[in-house]
Structure 1
Amino acid sequence: MFSPFDLPIPISILITDELSSPADFALHQYLISHIKEKKNSLQIVLSVSEGLTRWQSISAKSNIDLPKQIAAETFHLIDVTSALESDKVASGSTPPSPFHALYEQIVSLFEKNKAAGRDSDALVILDDISSLEWVGYSASDLCRLCRALRALCLKNQATLIIRHHLVQTSGEMDPLFRHLHALCMYHLDVQPLTSGRSGAVSGQIALHPGPNAFSTLPSLVKVRSRSAALQYRLTDGNAVFFERGSSRGVL
């Protein structure tokens, strides 16, 4: 059975969703899977919309003790909004590059991780970039941030995951999406059902190759077009995937 989480590492993944079918579950599952598989590696969550309590609650349902990971300095959650506001206060004005201090903080975490002799194969999650654009950060600044994060992750053999809420205007995708798509190796596409809401089905999910997909091992990855998208149902702490017209199949 297809699983959107059976991907080689390190890679860059763009996750898109819509407000009626949020991809929170995918972000949490990537983190949980990474902690279980890479017990001595680094995880960094750059969170815009969810606090630490939420990440801890979801992880605990899969027997992941995030406070323990925090104490071991292998898991770090950075409240992006608070960090950016603190940078403005510290500088006394809006800095010319609004994400410079945030980026340097991430660089520092990688350096400390390397100095501690921990495993590579780190994970960086940016959730969610759309909200930063909605509160007034320019698309060009956000694009530069994502390019810098991708270069940093490539240098450190880390996986980068970026979540972006899709907003269509006049039938065209927004410019930020086009830029993010150009950076990614794979695009995880989470959508609502075309037929509307259902009590048994939460939405559908597809996996597309990105422009850089063939720099990985494509034979190991089974992509899914929208026409062949799997449906999913959210449970208390997980997601169940199944083919259209069937309720069978568990991730």
Structure 2
Amino acid sequence: MFPSSNFPSQGQFLLLTDEPSSAADFLLHKSLNSHLKGSSKSRCIVLSVSESLARWKAVSARSNTNLDSYINSESLEFVDVCAASDPPNLKAPSSAPFRPVLDELRSKLGSNGAEYPLVILDDISSLEWIGFSVLDLTRFLRALLALIFKFDASLIVRHHIITPGDPDDLLRFLLELCTFHMEVRTLSSGRSGAVSGEIALHPGRTTVPTGFRTVARARAVQYRLTDAGSVFFEKGTGEAVL
């Protein structure tokens, strides 16, 4: 199955990038649902910036996943990043605006002995767009990763790419930190009814040899979005579902 249900694994940081015409929402929801269903002790904390809890529930319901049951059992928790953070301060970018978010996350990660907690930050680019400085965001990410390592968790961060081929400072920083980079792109020929886009998986600068198979752009896995979810297949086949 692509991607693997236990990916990313403990101590790993997966950077997930997408483009306006090929949003990666379906991969975030697939990762969340697979993780929660993997074990009765699985736990996930979503640091949400751009999507409401109602939206997450509605999308998961299409895949027959009832998030309310996981919320009631505290296997799934949501943190509204904008509500929990101090407003962006353009005059003092080093004022640690995300400390309340980090404190809340630290408390949630340490509250019980969850097995393989997953943290999802969706998405980092929106925080930059609403006025947080790159300095604030890089410090936030370093502190976030320190918590991931401390609690043997895994991390997925989504970043929207507006100008493909021209990485901004924040994206370059993310590429330096990540264990893997999953790249969701539109087809060069444009979206069609049979193929919605393609996915490549690159090793990050901090990657050590693992059992996960990377996928170069030349052999990118293609996908098709359906009402019930997504279908993955080898490039150029359209039939061989992974």
Q: Partners in 2 of 1:96 and 1:22 — Cα distance?
A: 32
The structural deviation recorded for 1:94 is 9.6
- Cα RMSD (Å) of the superposition? 1.9
Deviations 1:125-175 (A, max 9, x none): 000110100111001111111111111011111110000011338x53111
Q: What is the correspondence of 1:96-107 to structure 2 with a 5 Å cutoff?
A: 96-107=95-106
Q: Find the partner of 1:234 among 225, 238, 242.
A: 225
| Pairwise CA distance, 1:38 | 2.8
Identify the residue that residue 33 of structure 1 maps to in structure 2: 34
Q: In structure 2, how many angstroms separate the alpha carbons of the residues matched to 1:172 and 1:205?
A: 19
Find the counterpart in structure 1 of residue 206 from structure 2: 212
Matches within 5 A, 1:133-148: 133-148=128-143
Matched AA of 2:148: C
* Structure 1 residue 8 displacement after superposition: 5.3
What pairs up with 1:123-142 in 2 under 5 angstroms?
123-142=118-137
TM-score (norm 1): 0.88
Comparing both structures, which one devotes a greater share of its residues to helix? 1
Distance, in Å, in 2 between the alignment partners of 1:73 and 1:80 is: 19
The whole-number CA distance in structure 1 between the counterparts of 2:138 and 2:93 is: 18
How many residues are aligned here? 236
Shift of 1:246: 1.7
In structure 2, runs of 5+ residues without a counterpart are none
Instruction: After superposition, give the CA deviation of every residue in 1:61-107 in whole Å (9 maximum; x if it has no partner).
Output: 333221111111121111222222xx45xxxx999211011110101
- Quote how far apart the aligned CAs of 1:176 are: 0.5
Does residue 164 in structure 1 map to residue 155 in structure 2? no
- Measured after TM superposition, the shift of residue 239 of structure 1 is 1.2
User: 1:5-24 maps to which residues of 2 (within 5 A)?
Assistant: 5-6=4-5, 7=7, 9-10=9-10, 11-24=12-25
Match of 2:2 in 1: 3
Q: Report sequence identity in percent.
A: 47
TM-score between both structures, scaled by the size of structure 2: 0.91
Deviation at 1:244, TM superposition (A): 2.3
Q: Structure 1, unaligned stretches of length 5 or more?
A: none
2:114 to 97, 101, 119: 119
Contact 1:48 1:80 in 2 (8 A): yes
